[in-house]
Amino acid sequence: MPAASSTHLVLIPSFNPGRKVLETVRAARAQWTPVWVVVDGSTDGSADWLRELAAQDTGLRVIVQPSNQGKGAAVLAGLELAAREGFTHALTMDSDGQHPSELIPRFMQASQNAPAAMVLGVPIFGAEAPRLRVLGRKISNGWANLETLGMGIGDSLYGFRVYPIAPLARVMRGQRFMRRFDFDPEAAVRLCWAGVRPVNLPAPVRYFTPEEGGVSHFKYLRDNTLLTWMHTRLFLGFLCRLPLLLWRSLLGRG
């Protein structure tokens, strides 16, 4: 197992992922120490499975939320605890095996090279990726880059990324949104507004079939409605910040 980092940890929010979570966590642990899993009120028995795994692995920590509060809320709970224990950066990844654990060291190194930045994964899709999902994210990416005056968000929705903890926690505490499926795109936009620049790295994404143990909680109507409301809010916020963003853009070009 790799030596423990005192600054960077892997943070995995998890809600009813099925047995795939064990494979995901073991793969992450093979690449990094420590790995924390925040179980967001799961009812599929995964909290018990993970506790059993953690009992045999000091590099794994399991934090169990009593009820389902959403991905963003689970990440925030992990961030606040990590900050209290002296960590400065967190790599977030999904618990369902879609994200490439083998790239954890590369993303962590990029973060260590540019600690003030956020390192965003840009997905490389396989042939199995749902076409509607692939096309739909282009709309969200377009809005995100408009709302940041093209600061360079390579992908707004991909959750495999490294965040500097302090600015992200500060942004999240400052408003009541970013607690559910809207977390990833809103985090990228609001951190850009806060002056945290994005560094983009390509990363494959894998969609598993139910027969392969894949579990999806994406609801097309519900989650796209949430994203639409989120981008409406962000665009209004963008208009309020436009003079500052224009000035920052001009200074950057200068």
pLDDT of 63: 97
What class is the 8-253 domain?
alpha beta
**What's the confidence (pLDDT) of residue 130?**
67
Identify the pLDDT of residue 206.
Answer: 85
* Cα end-to-end distance, the chain, whole Å: 46
Stretches where the chain sits below pLDDT 70 are 130, 132-133, 208-224, 252-254
Angle between helices 165-173 and 183-193 (to 10 degrees): 100
Query: Are the beta carbons of 11 and 91 closer than 8 angstroms?
Result: yes
- Whether this prediction's pTM lies above 0.85 is answered by yes
How confident is the model at residue 212, as a pLDDT? 58
pLDDT number for residue 254: 47
Q: What is the pLDDT of residue 121?
A: 97
Domain spans of the chain? 8-253
